[in-house]
Amino acid sequence: MLERPIPIVPTLRGKTVVNLFFEPSTRTSTSFAIAAKRLSCDVVNFSRVASSVQKGETLLDTTRNIEAMRVDGVIIRHSCPGAARFLAKRINAFVINAGDGAHEHPTQALLDAFTLLQKIKTLEKKKILILGDIAHSRVARSDIWIFKKLGAEVSVCGPPTLIPPYIEEEMKVKVYFDLDKALPGMDVINVLRLQLERQKRGVFPSLREYRRFYCLTEERLKKAKKDVIIMHPGPLNRGIEIHPDVADGKRSVILHQVRAGVAVRMAILFLLAGGKIEKEKRE
């Protein structure tokens, strides 16, 4: 559709959504904004910094106010797990979770799965490795759910301080602390962004040490399958969790993910805004 002279369809004409982002984001909010506009849906952006939240307004009040202006949908990113659900139960507009704390990031998981399915027809029995700061990653959690649901074998790898203690038992994934041991046989490697703020809290000794043990380099990839697919939700910390040559290399689908993101978000908006929205509140 994006290749047409007019890359817009009139499907959601007359509808309005609000990007309610309490945590910084350019990539996700832009992706949603573009998705909405391609469907002729209006978008309003709310950023935490320049808002009444600074004056102490509660989440619910903020949203009720916005809803009173006849908004059809809310796309929310918030640092509290459960924020999206909290909202969905209390307002009439539909709610999309764009990330709630370290809990989930469902649209990222959907676009990750979609990207993979475009490359390899099925995820049944495929081996997928999620590499990085698993403990604080909502992307990791959502990805684990979706990849397992689609039949893949999921493993995680990272420093012991960044892997949640019961993840092996609770989420049924294999845990590796040694990247070289994790790589052989993997079909897909999803590299997570190292949140550099964590380093200040002493979760690992230094960036240099993290890089030495966990940076995905071309050299390391020799241990993996030749046609292994490399993913990253972005934004990249080049040279820290992933080497630039890998990120920009032939096996990388990072830019495909971004493109898929717009398509997947368009589909989600279409289904939530175009269908019978009075029936049920959805997240």
Q: Does 276 bind other proteins (CB under 8 A)?
A: yes
| Sign of the torsion formed by the C-alpha atoms of 96, 102, 104 and 105 | positive
Nearer to other proteins, 9 or 175 (CB): 9
CA–CA gap between residue 11 and residue 273 (Å, rounded):
9
Burial class (CB in 10 A: 0-12, 13-18, 19+), 43: middle
Alpha helix positions (H), the chain: 27-38, 59-67, 83-88, 106-119, 138-149, 167-171, 179-182, 197-200, 207-214, 218-221, 244-247, 254-274
Q: Does 10 bind other proteins (CB under 8 A)?
A: yes
To the nearest whole angstrom, how small is the minimum distance from the Cβ of residue 271 to other proteins? 7
To the nearest whole angstrom, how small is the minimum distance from the Cβ of residue 15 to other proteins? 10
Would you give the binding string for other proteins spanning residues 25-44, x where CB under 8 A is met?
Answer: --------------x-----
To the nearest whole angstrom, how small is the minimum distance from the Cβ of residue 265 to other proteins? 15
Q: Does 6 bind other proteins (CB under 8 A)?
A: yes
Nearer to other proteins, 6 or 50 (CB): 6
Neighbours of 25 (CB within 10 A): 17
To the nearest whole angstrom, how small is the minimum distance from the Cβ of residue 263 to other proteins? 11
Backbone angles phi and psi of 186, in degrees to 5: -75, 140
CA–CA gap between residue 265 and residue 110 (Å, rounded):
9
To the nearest whole angstrom, how small is the minimum distance from the Cβ of residue 143 to other proteins? 24
Q: In one letter, which amino acid is 243? A: H
Nearer to other proteins, 121 or 226 (CB): 121
CA–CA gap between residue 248 and residue 234 (Å, rounded):
13
To the nearest whole angstrom, how small is the minimum distance from the Cβ of residue 54 to other proteins? 38
Size of the chain in residues: 283
Nearer to other proteins, 181 or 282 (CB): 282
Nearer to other proteins, 106 or 233 (CB): 106
Nearer to other proteins, 1 or 60 (CB): 1
Q: Which residues bind other proteins (CB under 8 A)?
A: 1, 4-6, 8-11, 39, 270-271, 274-276
